[in-house]
Amino acid sequence: MTTVNQPLVLPPSITSKTIRVKDLDVHFLQALPSSHSSSPTTQQPLIILLHGFPELAYSWRKVMVSLSEGGYNVVAPDQRGYGRTTMLNSSGVPIESIGFNDDLTPFRIFNLVTDIVLLVEAMNYRSVAAVVGHDFGSLIAGYCALIRPDLFRSVVMMSAPFPGAPPFQTSSEKKQSSLAWPTVMKQLAELDTPRKHYTTYFSSADANADMLQSPQGLRKFLSDYFYAKSADWPKNAPHPLPAASASHLTTLPHYYIMLLEQTMPMAVRNAANEGTRPLQEWLSDEDLSFYTSEFSRTGFQGGLNWYRCMTDTKWSMDLQIFTGKRVTVPAMFLAGSKDWGVYQSPGALERMKEYVCQSMDEEDVVLLPNVGHWVQQEQSEAVVSRLLGFLEKVSKTR
């Protein structure tokens, strides 16, 4: 097994554990309420926290203890392809590394949801009070609630609106849509200044090596990437886009709509030097060292394979069985006001509120002021307050 380079330093109330779940040894962080020590046989309501890219279970460290003191068993796994969760071969032997040419079947969205369902089962729970997902984890959380509303009793999507099952549009919206998404991608490449969508780049064979071996070094690349998508980068002034056309999408920063020949390290280069507030105010040097150590050990390919299964529709065909199905459990959307992720897919926020989620109240669509993409790390106290308020409201309706 690959050695662990960086010690996992956590608050005393958070423990690090591993559990076998089908073809995975799942590493997860857990925070239990202080009352658990006096009643160890009592099963507290479960909250599952799902990270995005390039993140880890560690990304939830700032909110876990406070959420647990609300009376919850709070669990954040390193998901498939990330961190200290290990994939196993058919003989149960750990897979040392994940490569671009590996079979993508395990990274299908349907399988990522199955991972979480079976994690809940392995923990001997029959229901989850809330599944909360950030960034790409928002998509997995949304599908958890869509597919298994009997198990996941509420859902919170953070930073990325949940588009629902393919084809992601109602019939009326399809008639109004002038351009299909593949056409938009083609038109981006044909602009006078040719562009590409970041998911196209993340799906390429070169992306992992580009980032892992970035000219500025992995640590500096990660600091630039985190900073560029935070509220502190002065060029982040997000707003709704009128349509999913190539010309409108060029409004997005280069970390979303990249120059055709750019790598991601090129797109965010020196971003951390362009703001007035230092990254260390919300992401300490120790935090950055941990991210750097983990991704230097594992690479990014595991997470990048998620994007490949999203951009190549053959890997999501199994989700079409849920076409037209809505999220029926109570739902919340929580993001930062300075996060372009809210608007990068034009119309997605409105579709989520008005159609995809049947029980998403207007008061539960929250954009925290002066917060960027990394909400739970940039403004953890505000996130905890909103999450606990939502869960309290949900509990009163049952």
Which tens digit of pLDDT belongs to each residue from 46-85? 999 999 999 999 999 999 999 999 999 999 999 999 999 9
Helices 61-68/380-396 angle, 10° precision: 40
In this prediction, residue 168 has a pLDDT band, given cuts at 50, 70 and 90, of low
**Of 37-41, 143-147, 245-249, highest mean pLDDT:** 143-147
Give the predicted TM-score (pTM) of the model: 0.95
Q: What's the pLDDT score for residue 7?
A: 75
What was the pLDDT predicted at 3? Answer: 41
Q: Which of 26-40, 90-104, 214-228, 288-302 has the lowest mean pLDDT?
A: 26-40
CB atoms within 10 A of CB 245: 16
| Host H or E run for residue 24 | strand 24-31
DSSP codes of every residue in 343-385: TSSTTHHHHIIIIIEEE--GGGEEEETT--S-HHHHSHHHHHH
Query: Measured between alpha carbons, how far is 202 from 182 in angstroms, rounded to an integer?
Result: 16
Residue 245, pLDDT score: 85
Could you count the other beta carbons within 10 Å of the beta carbon of residue 86? 20
Res. 175 pLDDT band, cuts 50 70 90? very low
Nearest 5°: phi and psi at 126? -110, -5
Query: What is the average pLDDT across 325-354?
Result: 96
Which pLDDT score, from 0 to 100, does residue 36 have? 66
Q: What mean pLDDT comes out for the span 150-168?
A: 93
Question: C-alpha distances in angstroms, 45 versus 124, 134, 215?
Answer: 12, 20, 46
Encoded tokens for 264? 């991601």
The dihedral sign for the CA sequence 304, 67, 157, 47: positive
- Summary mean pLDDT of the chain: 93
103-132 pLDDT, tens digit per residue, is 999 999 999 999 999 999 999 999 999 999
Tell me what the mean pLDDT of segment 232-243 comes to: 94
- Beta bridge mates, 335: 367
